[in-house]
Amino acid sequence: MDRVTLRDIAREVGVSVMTVSNVVNGRAGRVSPATAARVERAVADLGYVPSAAARSLVARRSRLVGLLLPGRPDGVTLLGSPHDVAVTGALEAALRARDHHLMLRGVGDAGDVRDSVRRWGLDGVVVMGFTDDALAALDLPGTLPAVLVDAEGGPADAGPEHARLRSDDRAGGHLAGTHLAGLGHRRLLLCGPVDAASRVVAERLAGFRAAATEAGLPPGAVRTAHARTTYDEGVALGGRLAADVRAGSVTAVFATADVLAAGVVRGLAEAGLRVPEDVSVLGYDDAELARQVTPRLSTVAQDTAGKGRLAAELLLGLVTGDDAAPRSATVPVALVARESTGPAPVG
């Protein structure tokens, strides 16, 4: 079937193409209500679908939003964690509801960013998954509407065209430490990308240590172990931790993501240890995975879907030039206790 055009609508109604254009492009006030109603009926009857390219030319906007993530030279999917998948899904849905479209792009340097913006005519970008140092190296143009997710850094000249969105990571770490200390644990371990200059992980660790101090634990009660945020890294780490658990030097593990925590549980189980009887394991995010594994994961929940919706709201406020729109937002966190944490083992 041939595509229905404005000319077809105009011929059907008996009006000019300009009149039809005014109605379908939101300028119905320029024509009489009766004519506008006839045009709208013809649009529905003939199944007219506006051309995105034509609308972009009229509005001088592409209605394209880029989601920029760290490039993965190994060819692995850019959405490597349940957190990123959930945020991206909610972001896309929120943008689609506002007649915008999401383009996923892996970038590694400022040249990649400039190429993406020029090649696709992006109205704005959401940037997620970068450390502060890596984000600064992207050199985002100060005039490009951008939402920086889970980052404090960014361009030195960041101005009114940039907004920031983050979770309350320090509060999340504090909730984790308070929960485990309240169960009697005195030898704690935080695992995650602690060697990756991640502000997110640093904040969670700071909150975790603060809670341990408030509970009266000695300075050395909190140890750290570096691990990338993958299930396989968690399995390997769980196997290595088995000796520490048996020696009593670790009684509870706080992982900075549920997918990592699930791997740790599996690695400990393969080493013959029980969770939570021998060692407690606590995750972060409250991804669907946390409710699917056995035992179900205790975790620090953040509203990842809300995070995606907020990112869309912040960005569209920048794109449309809404001076009253917020320029920052913080997603709250909450402790969800399930079966993977329990009282510290006696002895």
What is the domain count for the chain?
A: 3
Q: What is the 3-state secondary structure (H, E, C) of 187-252?
A: CEEEEECCCCCCHHHHHHHHHHHHHHHHCCCCHHHEEEEECCCCHHHHHHHHHHHHHHHHHCCCCE
Give the integer Cα–Cα distance in Å for 248 and 16: 83
Q: Are residues 282 and 311 in the same domain?
A: no
- 3-class secondary structure, 65: strand
Q: Are residues 266 and 252 in the same domain?
A: yes
Structural domain span for residue 127: 64-165+305-330
> Which residue in the block uniquely carries the two structure tokens 């990842």?
304
Q: What percent of the chain has pLDDT over 70?
A: 89
Cα angle at 192 between 84 and 151, to 5 degrees? 50
Q: Are residues 190 and 248 in the same domain?
A: yes
Cα 88 versus chain centre, distance: 6
Q: Are residues 291 and 190 in the same domain?
A: yes
In a domain, 336, yes or no: no
In a domain, 338, yes or no: no
In this structure, the number of other CB atoms found within 10 A of the CB of residue 264 comes to 33
Name the token pair of 162.
Answer: 């940039």
Q: Are residues 160 and 309 in the same domain?
A: yes
- Residue 18, domain CATH: 1.10.260.40
- Residue 322, domain CATH: 3.40.50.2300
In a domain, 77, yes or no: yes
In a domain, 346, yes or no: no
- Torsion angle (degrees, nearest 10) of CA 204, 289, 238, 198: -30
> pLDDT tens digits for 29-86?
778 888 888 888 888 888 776 655 455 444 455 788 989 888 766 656 667 788 889 9
Assign 1 a pLDDT band (cuts: 50, 70, 90).
very low
Q: Are residues 283 and 269 in the same domain?
A: yes
Check residue 109 and give its pLDDT: 80
Q: Are residues 180 and 196 in the same domain?
A: yes
Which of 284, 62, 53, 58 lies closest to 180 in space, CA to CA?
284
Assign residue 47 a region: left if phi > 0, alpha if psi is -120 to 50, beta otherwise? left
Alpha helical stretches, state H, the chain: 6-13, 17-24, 33-46, 52-59, 82-97, 110-120, 132-138, 169-182, 199-214, 231-247, 258-270, 288-292, 304-319
Q: Are residues 223 and 128 in the same domain?
A: no
Phi, psi of 160 (to 5 degrees): -70, -10
Give the integer Cα–Cα distance in Å for 272 and 20: 72
> pLDDT tens digits for 71-130?
766 656 667 788 889 999 999 999 999 888 998 888 878 888 888 777 777 888 999 888
In a domain, 342, yes or no: no
Give the integer Cα–Cα distance in Å for 251 and 187: 6
Check residue 147 and give its pLDDT: 92
In a domain, 117, yes or no: yes
Check residue 250 and give its pLDDT: 96
CB 124 within 8 A of CB 140: no
Q: Are residues 149 and 176 in the same domain?
A: no
Q: Are residues 142 and 207 in the same domain?
A: no
CB 211 within 8 A of CB 174: yes
Cα→Cα distances 138→69, 116, 127, 155, 163, Å = 11, 12, 10, 8, 16
> pLDDT tens digits for 211-245?
999 999 998 899 999 999 899 999 999 999 999 99
Q: Are residues 200 and 293 in the same domain?
A: yes
In a domain, 59, yes or no: no
> pLDDT tens digits for 268-310?
999 999 999 999 999 999 999 999 999 999 999 999 999 999 9
In this structure, the number of other CB atoms found within 10 A of the CB of residue 339 comes to 13
Helices 6-13 and 33-46: crossing angle in degrees, nearest 10, is 120
Give the integer Cα–Cα distance in Å for 211 and 217: 9
Q: Are residues 86 and 184 in the same domain?
A: no
For 270, half-sphere exposure in the C-beta direction (CA atoms, 13 angstrom radius) is 15
- 3-class secondary structure, 88: helix
In a domain, 194, yes or no: yes
Cα→Cα distances 115→14, 62, 112, 118, 337, Å = 45, 16, 5, 5, 46
The sign of the CA dihedral 99, 151, 238, 294 is negative
